[in-house]
Structures are given as structure tokens and as C-alpha cells.
Amino acid sequence: MSTMQDKTQFGLTKEGTAVIERLEELAIFPNQMEAAKFALAVAIRSGAKPSVVAQAKTTWHAGGFDPDHELADVVCILFPEVQAPYRAIEALVNDGLALLGKEIERTGTLDLPTLVDVLPNRAR
Amino acid sequence: MLTLKTLALTNFGPFKGTQILSFPTEPGVTIVFGENGRGKTTLLNAFRFALFGTIKARAAQDITLLDVINIEARQDGVFSASVVLTFSYYASMYELTRKIEPRNGIRQPESEADLVIDSWLRRDDDVLEGNFAKEELARIMPEKVSRFFLFDGELLQEYEELLRQESKTGDEIKEAIEQILGVPVLTNARQDLEALHSQARKQESRAQTKDVKTNELQSHLAEALARKEQTESIVREKKLERHALESARAAIVQEMRKWERLRSQLDQRDGLLRDINDLKLKIDERKERLRLELTGVWKSLLATDLSKRRLSLEEEFATLLSRQEGRRASDFLTKLLNSNLDSNRCDGCARYLDTDARQYIQAKLAELVKDAGIEVPGARLEELRSQIGTIDAVVSADRRGLILEIVSNIEEARVACSDKQGRVADLQEATRNVNEAEVQKLSGEERRHTQEITILDQAIQSEQNVLADTLSKMQKIEAELDRIGGSDLSKERVQREVCAKLHQLFEEGVALYRDNLRAKVESDATEIFRELTSDPDYTGLQINQNYGLTIVHRSGTLVKVRSAGNEHIVALSLMGALQKNAPLRGPIVMDSPFGRLDTTHKLNVVKALPRMADQVILLVYESEVEPQMARNLLTGKLRSEYRMKRLSSFHTTIEGGTGGIR
């Protein structure tokens, strides 16, 4: 992984796509990109580690998704072993969406306070 | 009627000292005999001076005030003269004094300018001076008609002027004749009426103007009144309507009381539903805000992890930095010690190195060489610095507090909404079997009635404002009408017409009066003339427009050319006729009226004198009228005789008195 070439385009798995569409329906986030970034953060807070994503459908261009490279930097800070941050981002986004999907499935919506505040605490 | 009582003369003309003539008040004749130059004309002038302050000179004479003062008196140093005339006029007694005296500061007057005339009039117990005296005298004896009371026989031929057209003297005499006959009473009235007519015409014109304004104002007033009545009617109707609505609403309210609890529950439910709606809107609004605030929220979620990570990065950074600084110090010391060894001298104390010192330095250098093997990664330091900067930027964007607050608000609203929904459900359960539509209908009707009453109240208020405004306008119009006064054009028109008719009446009346007067004067003059004339063929006199009299011959022929004597007789006839027809009656003072008459005429005139006036004062010389003949002719009518007696050329005394001189 450390020697793997990073992605310039990345995307969501089928499951991830379903969740992000559901999130769009719930109109919690201003757009899909923000929902995806939120999912990434949820995944990190939940203790997920960057992995490899299989069969992801190209959804975003890395330059459009993270124009100032801030998210990639943050991922590299939190995960120093990461050499291809956008691959890591893709994995974490999909992992996060999976978590959110479960939450939606459980509660019918997203419990933002839990996600924003309680969940991280619990994760710690 | 004016009746003379006395005439007192003091240093007036030839009458030196004070001399008094008394005139009997019984109707008749007083004769004052005096030869030429004794002062008959002066005596006539004394009357004139007393009454009018003037002295009439005969032709070619020029009399000044100084000439009036008796010459001998002047020679004696007396420079004053006076005339005091007493008379009665109806019930009042008068004493008229007129005095010539030197102006203040002048002891010996040399001309008229050095003299002044002072006068006063006593009426009963009052003394009238200045204009009061003048006006009173003008009322009793107007100067214009004096020629018919004080006449100079020498001037009788003036009356011939009346027969001439466009004669100035004739016009003056005619005017005087009309005055004595009282024509001015009518002509003045006619003039006054003309003035009144003119004034009435102006008033009518003004009234016409005012009438237009008044009509305009009255039209406005009528409009305002109509508006007022209309508005009052509207207000009445609306109040009735309101009353009906109020009654209906009261009935509804009464009905609604039965359903009060239910209505309250329904109202409560409706209120809750409204609240729920509001809360939902609020939730939607906050959700939208939250949605916007969630941009970059991933940073907030990672803030804690990053802060923790920052600590380890900082620690690593500090270690590397410390190592870098140690390496720098070691390099410096190696360089310094090598330099000391090379120079065999200490740079610190400047002493030469001994063996021990050199060995110590070499040992130190060996230790330093060990340290020189330690690597310091500058790139890592830079990387750490950058990562720490990134963490700081991300952590500073942490908005969890705000997001949680919004979420909390949303939750609170949701809870409240849920609570209210629960209560709504309870209320709906409680009111399930109620005919809500009926209650709602009542409630709706009550609201509608209340609303309509409010609208009616506003309409009534509005109409009352209009009414107040209209009343205010009416008051202003009425005040304006009061100010310009009531216009009565028809009254002014009637006044103008009356004035016009009266003026016309007087116009015709004056002409008729004149004609009648002329006829009367002609008739009376004819009667006197027939007594005076010695020619039996002269049957009468014919009067012209100017009161000029022409002798009519028996044959009907008008005698155009007549003798001086006949002129005299005709003039005296006119005098007599005028006296008879004049509203103003008084004495006649005649100076030398017989100069041109033959004996027959003289006798006739003397006989006729008592008929010419109640009081006749005749100034004659004895050869003109022989005293005894006069006494015979005037038997019973000669009331008094005086005779002027010469004491010197400049001093005449008057003798005689009541009862006559025999």
C-alpha cells in the first residue's frame, strides 16, 4: 500500500452510493461531497483504518473533492503510513457511509448529536 | 315772524353819541323824516350792518369802516361805532350788537385795516358768538333776501332787470325772489332726493353685487345643509344597522356560551395546530441552517483526534529541534578546540597550552567526534511544522458547539411539536362527538358580526367627521353671511324706485309750485299795482319766468315801454306781492321810495304801505311825503314818527318816537 500509486479519481461502492442517495433524500447535508467527507470523519472517529476499496464507481475528481489538499493532509497526519491519501479517503468514505447506512437503517435518520458529539466520545 | 323793537346807534355815521329808535310792534308804519344828507341811507345801512355786517354804498360811493365812525367822534379821539338792534322772532327776544373798534394795539386807526368788527347776539338769556350767531341770523334773516326787507328806492329800477333775458342782476334777483318765496325748500328737497336717488342707485348696485355673493354663499350653505342632512341620515342608518348587528351578535354570543367549553377546546386545538405549524416551519428553517452549517463539519469531527495527534507531532518536532541545536553546538566547539590546538593557545584565557591541557582538549574532541555522527532530518522538521499548521487550521474550524446548538433547537422544537400533537390528539378525542361545524359556524358568525360592527364603527366615525367638517363649513359660511350683511336687493330696488318717484314728484312739484307762485305773485302784484297806479287803463301785470312784471293794458296789450315812475310802482307791487307770498315774514325798511313818483302815485303808495308788511319803516324827506298828508293817509296805521335833526354837518340827532310827531 505504501508504494501504491494514488488515485486522481475515486468513488463509491454500490452500498455507499445507496447510502449517499438516502442521505441526499434526508437533506441533512448541503451536497453529496459534504456527506461523503462527514462519513469519512465518522469512519475515522469510529476507529476505521484506511483499506482498499473494490468496485468503486468513479464519482469525484480528487482536485474537485479536495481542492486545497487539506483532507489528504489530515488523512496523512492521522495515518502516517498512508502514501496514497485519496485511496485512503475513498476507503474511509465508503467505510463511513456503511456506518451511516446502518445508523439510518436503525433509526430511520441520522442522529447528528450522537454523530457529532456522543459518538466520538464513545469511540474514544 | 321778525319784528323790530329798537335800533341803537353809537357814533354810526352822522349819529354821534348814542341814539335810539323804538319801533311799535303793532302792525303799521313808522316814518323817519330826514332831509338830504341827514343820514336816511346811513340808517338803512345801520340795519344792514347790524344784521349782516355789511354796508351798501350807492353808485360812485366808496365807504370804508373808518368812514362809518362819526367824524366828530373821531375828532374827539373816539374810534369806535356800534349798532344794537333788538327784535323778536317768534317766542324769542334777540339783542344783536355789532361794533367797529380799533384793532388791538392801535390807538388811532388810519384805515379800515386798523379796525375790526366784533359782534354778538343775545337770545333771551343766552349769548351767541361767532358762527353760532351767524347761523342764527342766517336762519332768521338770510342776507340773500335782505333786498326785499331793506330796500333803497334809488335802486328799485334794478327790478327792471327781471324783464331782460340773460341778465346777471336779473338772475340774482330771481334767485333771491325764489328764496324768499320758499322755493329752495322744494328745490333743496329735490336736490336731496336726487342725491338720495343716486345713493339708492349705488346701494342697489352694491346690493346687486352683494346679492351675487350672498346667493353664492347661500347656495354653498344650501349644499352644505343638504350634505349635513344626507350625512346625518347615513349616520342614523348605519347606527340602526349597527344596532341590528349588535343584537344579532349578542344572540350568537348567548348561544355560544352553551358551547363555551367545547369552543374553548376547539380554540385550544386550533391554537395548538397553529403552534405545531409554526414549530414545523421553525424546524425546517433550522434544518436548512444546519444543512448549511454542516459544510466542513468533517473538520469538527476530527478536531479531537487531530489535537491529540498534534501533541505527538509537537513532541517529535521538539526532539528533532533540540537535536539540531546540539549538533550545531558540537560543531562549534570542535572547531574552537581544533583552533586552540593548532595555535597551542587558549582563546578563552590567552595562555599557552601545557601538555595536560592539550590532552584534555584532545579527549574532548574525541567525544565530540562521536556526536558528529548523529543525523538531524531537516526535511522532517519542515514536514512536522506543516502538519502542525494544518492541524491548527482544521481545529480552529471546529463548529461542533454551534451545530449541537442548532440540533438541540431542532430537537426541542420537535419535542414541543410532538407534545402539542399529543395534546391535539387528546382534544380531538374529547370533541369527537361534537358538531364542530355548527360551533365553528357560530364562532364564524360571531367573528363576522364583530368585524362588520368594527367596519360600521369606522364608517360611522368617518361620516361623523364629514358631519363635523360640514358643520364647521356651515358656520364659516354663516359667519361670512353675517359679516357681509343680509342683502335685500328687492328692498334696495324699492328704495331706489321710491327715490326716483319722489324726485320726479318734486321735479314736477317744483315746476308746479313755481307756476302757482308766479300766478299768485302775479295776482297779488296786480292787485297792489291797481291800487298804486294812476292809470285806470292799466288793468294788471303779467309775470314772466324770471318774476319780471309787465303792465297789461285794458286792451290786452303788454306795455313794454314804461316810465320811471311806472317802473317804480311795478317794483313796489312786486315787493308787496313777494311779502304776501313769502313764508319768511318781516319788516320792510324803505329808503326814499318815492323819488320818481308823481303825487298821485305817492299818495297811492303811502296808502298801500300798511298792506305791504306788518311793520313798515319809511325813510323819507318831507317834500317827498308831506307829514300831514302821510298822517291823513295812514290814519290808524301810522304808529311812530321820527325826524332827523341837523346839529352840524357831521352830527344828526333823531327826535320823536312812538305816537308820532304832530
Residue B395, chain A, CB below 8 Å: the answer is no
Query: For B556, which DSSP code?
Result: S
Check residue A98 and give its pLDDT: 94
Q: What sign results for the dihedral spanned by CA atoms B193, B195, B201, B207?
A: negative
Q: Give the model confidence (pLDDT) of B52-68 as tens digits.
A: 888 887 655 667 889 89
318765496: which residue's cell?
Answer: B181
Q: Give the model confidence (pLDDT) of B485-540 as tens digits.
A: 755 778 888 888 888 888 888 888 888 888 888 899 999 999 889 888 888 899 99
Nearest to B252 by CA among B436, B456, B448, B452: B448
Q: Does residue A118 carry a pLDDT above 60?
A: no
B79 in Cβ contact with B115 (< 8 Å) = yes
Check residue B294 and give its pLDDT: 87
Residues of A in contact with B309 (CB under 8 A): 77-78
Distance CA B43, CA B137 (A): 19
Sequence-distant (6+) residues with CB within 8 A of B362 are B341
Residue B306, chain A, CB below 8 Å: the answer is yes
Q: Give the model confidence (pLDDT) of B610-622 as tens digits.
A: 888 889 999 998 8
- Nearest residue of A to residue B386, measured between CA atoms: A73
ipTM of the complex: 0.91
Check residue B261 and give its pLDDT: 78
B438-442: average pLDDT: 81
- Nearest residue of B to residue A71, measured between CA atoms: B299
Helices within B259-377 (DSSP H only): 260-293, 297-343, 355-371
Q: Does residue B78 carry a pLDDT above 80?
A: yes
How many Å lie between the alpha carbon of B365 and the closest alpha carbon of chain A? 39
Q: Give the model confidence (pLDDT) of B295-338 as tens digits.
A: 888 998 899 899 999 999 999 999 988 888 888 888 888 888 89
Q: Does residue A62 carry a pLDDT above 90?
A: yes
Q: A interface mutation test: which of B283, B286, B302 has the most A CBs within 10 A?
A: B302
Check residue B544 and give its pLDDT: 87
- Beta carbons of A27 and B291 less than 8 Å apart: yes
Residues of A in contact with B298 (CB under 8 A): 34, 37-38, 40-41, 71
Enter the pTM of the model: 0.49
Q: Give the model confidence (pLDDT) of B341-389 as tens digits.
A: 899 888 888 888 888 888 998 888 888 877 666 676 788 889 999 999 9
The beta-carbon neighbor of B294 closest among A29, A45, A78 is: A29
Check residue A43 and give its pLDDT: 94
Cα–Cα–Cα angle for B643, B647, B651, rounded to 5 degrees: 90
Residue A68, chain B, CB below 8 Å: the answer is no
B263-279: average pLDDT: 89
Residues of A in contact with B300 (CB under 8 A): 41, 116
Confidence of residue B465 (pLDDT cuts 50, 70, 90): very high
Residue B148 burial by CB count (10 A; 0-12/13-18/19+): exposed, middle or buried?
buried
Confidence of residue B423 (pLDDT cuts 50, 70, 90): very high
A34-51: average pLDDT: 93
B155 in Cβ contact with B140 (< 8 Å) = no
Check residue B373 and give its pLDDT: 66
Q: A interface mutation test: which of B283, B287, B288, B297 has the most A CBs within 10 A?
A: B297
- Nearest residue of A to residue B405, measured between CA atoms: A113
Tell how many helices (H) and how many strands (E) occur in chain B.
16, 15
Check residue A119 and give its pLDDT: 45
Check residue B59 and give its pLDDT: 59
Check residue B486 and give its pLDDT: 58
Instruction: HSE, CB side, 13 Å, CA atoms: give it for residue B4.
Output: 28
Check residue B662 and give its pLDDT: 34
Task: Give the N- to C-terminal CA distance of chain B in Å, as an integer.
Answer: 30
Confidence of residue A67 (pLDDT cuts 50, 70, 90): very high
Check residue B61 and give its pLDDT: 65
- Beta carbons of A113 and B408 less than 8 Å apart: yes
Confidence of residue B660 (pLDDT cuts 50, 70, 90): very low
Check residue B145 and give its pLDDT: 80
- Beta carbons of A116 and B407 less than 8 Å apart: yes
Query: For B576, which DSSP code?
Result: H
Residues of B in contact with A42 (CB under 8 A): 301
State what percent of residues in chain B have pLDDT above 70.
97
- Nearest residue of B to residue A113, measured between CA atoms: B404
How many Å lie between the alpha carbon of B248 and the closest alpha carbon of chain A? 53
Check residue A108 and give its pLDDT: 84
Residues of B in contact with A120 (CB under 8 A): 301, 304
The chain-wide mean pLDDT, for chain B, equals 87
